[in-house]
Structure 1
Amino acid sequence: MPYGQFPYQRPRRLRISSAIRDMVAENHLKPADFIAPVFVMEGENMKEEIPSMPDYFRYTLDLLMDEIRELKEVGIRSVLVFVKVPDDKKDNKGTEALNEQGLMQRSVRTIKKEFPDMLVMTDIALDPYSSYGHDGIVEEGEILNDESVEVLAEIAVSHARAGADYVAPSDMMDGRIGAMRDALDDDGFKHTGIMAYSAKYASSYYGPFRDALDSAPGFGDKKTYQMDPSNVREAVKEARMDEQEGADIVMVKPGLPYLDVIRAVKESVQLPVSVYNVSGEYAMLKAAAANGWLDEEEAMMEALIGFKRAGADLIATYFAKAASKLLNRK
């Protein structure tokens, strides 16, 4: 067929086999890309499935060690720790968050003792400890910013003392990254990193997570401190501010509805960018797969590579173990 009737370039030649597709793939996933969220509860020898997150569990600290061992065996290098706090330990100032013998602090010490090379990241927020379920101290219906930041900085230091490698503030209070960096440095923890939830949106996709930790707000919503889903430039501003204040990694949360935000942030900062593939995204995929509407493994991997394509360097996901097992089989 003479040139002009058909192009010399045939892009399908680069798709003709799995070997060539893998060789020319523009983005790749590996287990070390994943941050595995883990949920810890008080007690012993208990493992509870989270009703709205099929195949995902809360663990008592003793059984959590078995789960982390499995994560390590499939190549995952980092966990992000969340704790379920009993109601009788909650108050408006998050007092339990500063308890050196609290569940978070005990969890960090235990994980680092059993798995010293596992990178441990800890959630920094008041909502799991708050009697109001908000990420800050409440006064007359207002979530106070500066007073909350003081406590959040103290929590960061407490987690660093327990052995956390990175603290991960998810509260969205203004100025908290700089305050935490100063507090950590002043207490001798200059090597403790900060993964900032820089662009955390006021999203409807968090429902199953709040089920997991019983941390839903007791009144109102979180729209006065979490971001408006309409905004992209604001996310870039927040990420740049966190970079200037001393963050080591910036995060966009949620993931799938915010791929454009991941790309905008990636192009605007000089730091690694992480994304949180949140509980609602996980639950939707699991529900659709359970109904036979899509192939769970294929949809899972398509979503995860989408985050990489958008610019994410790291992915916090409830699919971390399942995806790593699949990658290891290839």
Structure 2
Amino acid sequence: MSFPLVRHRRLRGSAAIRNLVRENALSVNDLIQPVFVEAGHNIKSEIPSMPGVYHFSLDRLEEEIREISELGIQGILLFGVPETKDAVGTSAFHEEGIVQQASRLIKKINPNLLIIADTCLCQFTDTGHCGVVHHNPETGCTDIANDESLELLVKTAVSQAKAGADIIAPSNMMDGYVHAIRAGLDAEGLEHVPIMAYSVKYSSAYYGPFREAVDSAPQFGDRKTYQMDSANSREALREAESDVLEGADFLMVKPALAYMDILQLLKQNFDLPLVAYNVSAEYSMVKAAAQNGWINEKEIVLETLLGFKRAGADIILTYHAKDAARWLKNV
């Protein structure tokens, strides 16, 4: 049957009807707030390219954790900015590293808040790369040593879990990273700790503000030999399948906004919880437009986050999480 017997507007006629037939919903339970901690004292410093997002020193961290908790957000993604860096990212896996110290502190403030530890080396190495760099003086070529980097990533994951991290989130895109970390955790009696795999992480221009936030821009070259080519989608299935077989507990797509097709592709092919990472430039563009009065920030953000849900995301990592939690209370 066609018009006039079929009238699609019948199901849009009132707010009550629209609520009854709504296919997707956004909840504060879907949201994870990234948090940045750094060495020092009495620091609450706004990141210039990310309005409303701050660096916190340990002695100022409690105010942020309590605010997040009071908003009903149940998890944070924890990033650390170390005091010193070296070629192998030693401070990433040091027992008194900034992430390890912050994790222990957060568990004292709110034991029920999920700590998801970003497990990578880029903000801890003096090269800004996510692994160990090898230079070949004969050829002049540079490479990121995959298997040697895995050993350091395992040490980092184990130290983070022992310090209180509830979930390990490896973002390095080294081949075999899930298998190596799973084996390392299990060997230390940490088999209960899940792995949130950055399964499909593209080499993207959307990471710019984040790299400023953690001072992790590569000092030479780029990350295209280990992060994915943004033109590829079938490759995303291969990457995700490897992580599933190696023991991942979550799959992630990063960035999210320009890759909703990839979210949907993974949702259709795998049954693990799916995470969308709404990354720094996606956040900063909205903030800049809102500050100029060009958009309605609340409506844009909630529509975008709902779009991630519609595309298949079960969980959304977003710098908008605190604002969205406030707005959702009043929706």
**TM-score scaled by structure 1?**
0.97
* Partner of residue 244, structure 1: 245
Is 2:286 the partner of 1:285? yes
Is 2:55 the partner of 1:58? yes
Among 44, 65, 68, which residue is 1:68 paired with?
65
**1:126 is aligned with what amino acid?**
L
Q: How far apart in 2 are the matches of 1:9 and 1:62? A: 62
Partner secondary structure for residue 52 of structure 2: strand
CA contact (8 A) 1:240 1:268 kept: no
Task: Provide, for residues 7-59 of structure 1, a one-character-per-residue CA deviation record: whole Å limited to 9, x for no partner.
Answer: 22221122122222122111001101011100001122210010001111111
Q: How far apart in 1 are the matches of 2:271 and 2:246? A: 13
Is 2:185 the partner of 1:190? no
* Partner of residue 321, structure 2: 320
* Partner of residue 21, structure 1: 18
The 5 A counterparts of 1:89-238 are 89-140=84-135, 141-238=142-239
Q: How far apart in 1 are the matches of 2:58 and 2:307? A: 33
Q: How far apart in 1 are the matches of 2:127 and 2:118? A: 18
Q: How far apart in 2 are the matches of 1:285 and 1:328? A: 21
CA contact (8 A) 2:82 2:97 kept: no
* Partner of residue 10, structure 1: 7
Deviation at 1:287, TM superposition (A): 1.0
Q: How far apart in 2 are the matches of 1:40 and 1:279? A: 16
Partner secondary structure for residue 139 of structure 1: strand
**2:163 is aligned with what amino acid?**
A
Partner secondary structure for residue 53 of structure 2: strand
CA contact (8 A) 2:131 2:144 kept: yes
* Residues matched between the structures, number: 325
In the alignment, structure 1 segments of 5+ residues that lack a partner are none
Task: Provide, for residues 191-245 of structure 1, a one-character-per-residue CA deviation record: whole Å limited to 9, x for no partner.
Answer: 1110000000000000000111111000010000000000111111111110110
* Partner of residue 260, structure 2: 259
Deviation at 1:327, TM superposition (A): 0.5
Q: How far apart in 2 are the matches of 1:18 and 1:85? A: 50
**TM-score scaled by structure 2?**
0.96
Partner secondary structure for residue 168 of structure 1: strand
CA contact (8 A) 1:42 1:60 kept: yes
User: What is the percent sequence identity of the aligned residues?
Assistant: 53
Name the stretch that deviates more: 39-48 or 252-261.
39-48
**1:234 is aligned with what amino acid?**
E
Partner secondary structure for residue 288 of structure 1: helix
In the alignment, structure 2 segments of 5+ residues that lack a partner are 136-141
The 5 A counterparts of 1:301-320 are 301-320=302-321
**2:301 is aligned with what amino acid?**
M
CA contact (8 A) 1:97 1:126 kept: yes
Task: Provide, for residues 148-183 of structure 1, a one-character-per-residue CA deviation record: whole Å limited to 9, x for no partner.
Answer: 011101110001110111010000000010000000
Name the stretch that deviates more: 6-15 or 267-276.
6-15
* Partner of residue 330, structure 2: 329
**2:47 is aligned with what amino acid?**
I
**2:323 is aligned with what amino acid?**
A
Deviation at 1:62, TM superposition (A): 2.4
**1:264 is aligned with what amino acid?**
L
CA contact (8 A) 1:121 1:168 kept: yes
Deviation at 1:297, TM superposition (A): 0.5
**2:12 is aligned with what amino acid?**
R
Partner secondary structure for residue 173 of structure 2: coil
